[in-house]
Chains A and B, each alone.
Chain A
Amino acid sequence: MTPSTSSAITLNINGEKYTLPVDHRTTLLDALREHLDLTGSKKGCDLGQCGACTVLLDGRRAVSCLQLAVAAEGRAITTIEGVADGERLHPVQQAFLDLDGYQCGYCTPGQICSAIAVIEEHAAGWPSAATDDVRPEAGVPALSAEEIRERMSGNLCRCGAYVSIVQAVAQAAEVQGKEAVA
């Protein structure tokens, strides 16, 4: 029996349910942009190498260009359109604005989604390749510029706005750290 090559699926995006028919070849990125008019997530390389298409899947950052839409059914998808709290920007969005963490802006939605997750991963105590001692007894390293650069290495910026992107991520982490304590 030849299996069906398309399915009707329901995606949970930014807290809303969308039902749509998809050819199984459709990536989540194409479903967002071409089927659901959620064009905030950008297509750069379409090969998982540039990070412009970064979204959050069940709260964890992922590249939507290598995620098949049909395989994303049942997962909580957050795109750049869903990170703000109503009219109140997410602290990472605000920091990118405050510090000019972009030039042309094309990679920015992916940078912001990735940075949101970087701050959460760091707060959860995850080490990185820049972490000198990964043993749990060594504790969590501070989110230094070196740590931010390593943790953000899956997001390319062809304008080269990296200096202010690193500053924006650091500022947002500080703001969120204070909010968590307050």
Chain B
Amino acid sequence: MREFGYERAFDVSGAVALIGSDPDARFLGGGTNLVDLMKTGVERPALLVDVRELPLDRIELERDGGLRIGATVTNSDLAAHPDVRRHYPALAQAVLAGASGQLRNMATVGGNLLQRTRCGYFTDISRPCNRRSPGSGCPAVGGEHHNHAILGASEHCIATHPSDMAVALAAFDAVISYETADGPGELPIDGFYPPVGDTPHIETTLPPGALITGVTLPPAPVAARSRYRKVRERASFAFAIGSIAGALDVEDGVVREVRLALGAVASMPWRARAAERLLVGGPASAEAFAAAADAELAAAEALPDNGYKVTLMRNLIVAVLTELTEEVSR
């Protein structure tokens, strides 16, 4: 591991000033991903600015019914919070589905959004990777890719975004707040993760040196009836091979509002807008759910070893919408 300097920040402006425009400096939150990547040589920062003690650890229910979540709130505190569990249960479930109890105590909301792909070629510095080392190639396309993307990928990178939390945030139209030396800014989660294209190394649209300060969830009554479901290769403590955050409002058998976001299928949490558009105003039936799933997955491009994900995601969409419909009628 490369030697590095360490500074602890106690206010947001101080943290942003410490990072400055140094491309070799990194913010340190819980460190559960960054320290791991430093050990394997993927990350080689010269300076760490510890932001864990910034006063950004609050979760507040806003007057309009939305929720404001500070960037240094831990995954554990997010999942345990009564307002999260009551108003956005799929968000609590998504966070609880990720990592282990120890890691959830350490990891922060800001860091969770910025965590890196677990593609085995990205994390192995002896192998080429366009995301880690632009222009070096992507061995996953012709190599080990059974857990890689089926939507929105390119020949340059087929890695998936690993976060469970971000999938629920995408379903609920989260807005990400940040601070730079030039002042604050906001980015909707739709657009926070740019399309892969030929620049997989550009992982977010945050300005250089920006510090995530929080996430705002707009009020969404539909979210009170929501679920997160995750499929993985063992029962617990594993990344998804497919996941879904869904929310549904049905009246007299007709879909009034629906939210769907898919995980482990793309380089970003995948908001299933084609499926949503097809569902709203139509019947809450298994046939309609399957048709919506097919519409969303029509653009899927599978490689030899990840085609199962198309079937898996179709079944997940139908299953979660069916469960939510049953919950409505209860």
Instruction: Please determine whether B48 and A125 come into contact, CB atoms closer than 8 angstroms.
Output: no
Flag whether A153 is at the interface (Cβ < 8 A): yes
Instruction: Please determine whether A71 and B96 come into contact, CB atoms closer than 8 angstroms.
Output: no
Given contacts A60-B105, A134-B92, A153-B100, contact A71 B236 (CB under 8 A): no
Q: In the complex, which residue of chain A has the Cβ closest to the Cβ of B92?
A: A134
The main secondary structure of chain A at its interface with chain B is loop
Given contacts A66-B32, A134-B85, A135-B85, contact A51 B5 (CB under 8 A): no
Given contacts A60-B76, A114-B101, contact A5 B39 (CB under 8 A): no
- Which one of A54, A127, A128 contacts B102 once the chains associate, using CB atoms below 8 Å? A54
Alpha-carbon separation in the docked complex, A114 to B48 (Å): 28
Instruction: Please determine whether B52 and A129 come into contact, CB atoms closer than 8 angstroms.
Output: no
Flag whether B31 is at the interface (Cβ < 8 A): yes
Instruction: Please determine whether B80 and A24 come into contact, CB atoms closer than 8 angstroms.
Output: no
Instruction: Please determine whether B4 and A25 come into contact, CB atoms closer than 8 angstroms.
Output: yes
Alpha-carbon separation in the docked complex, A45 to B105 (Å): 19
Given contacts A3-B5, A5-B5, A61-B102, contact A129 B96 (CB under 8 A): yes
Given contacts A27-B35, A154-B102, contact A70 B86 (CB under 8 A): no
Flag whether B46 is at the interface (Cβ < 8 A): yes
Shortest Cβ gap from B320 to chain A (Å) = 15
Given contacts A127-B92, A127-B96, A149-B236, contact A117 B31 (CB under 8 A): no
Instruction: Please determine whether A68 and B93 come into contact, CB atoms closer than 8 angstroms.
Output: no
Instruction: Please determine whether A3 and B47 come into contact, CB atoms closer than 8 angstroms.
Output: yes
Chain B interface size range: 35 or more
- Which one of A4, A124, A151 contacts B5 once the chains associate, using CB atoms below 8 Å? A4
Instruction: Please determine whether A118 and B96 come into contact, CB atoms closer than 8 angstroms.
Output: no
* Closest 8 pairs between A and B when the two form their complex, measured CB to CB: A3-B5, A154-B100, A153-B236, A5-B3, A153-B237, A136-B82, A60-B105, A129-B96
Instruction: Please determine whether B6 and A68 come into contact, CB atoms closer than 8 angstroms.
Output: yes
The proximity string for B residues 103-137 relative to A, scoring 1 for CB distances below 8 Å and 0 otherwise, is 10110000000000000000000000000000000
Q: A residues within 8 A CB of B235?
A: 149-150, 153
Instruction: Please determine whether A48 and B86 come into contact, CB atoms closer than 8 angstroms.
Output: no
The proximity string for A residues 113-128 relative to B, scoring 1 for CB distances below 8 Å and 0 otherwise, is 0100110010011111
Q: In the complex, which residue of chain B has the Cβ closest to the Cβ of A138?
A: B85
Given contacts A3-B46, A27-B35, A134-B96, contact A154 B106 (CB under 8 A): no
The proximity string for A residues 39-58 relative to B, scoring 1 for CB distances below 8 Å and 0 otherwise, is 00000001110010010010
Instruction: Please determine whether A66 and B105 come into contact, CB atoms closer than 8 angstroms.
Output: no
- Which one of A23, A66, A127, A152 contacts B35 once the chains associate, using CB atoms below 8 Å? A66
- Which one of B31, B76, B105 contacts A68 once the chains associate, using CB atoms below 8 Å? B31
Alpha-carbon separation in the docked complex, A25 to B43 (Å): 13
Shortest Cβ gap from A155 to chain B (Å) = 8
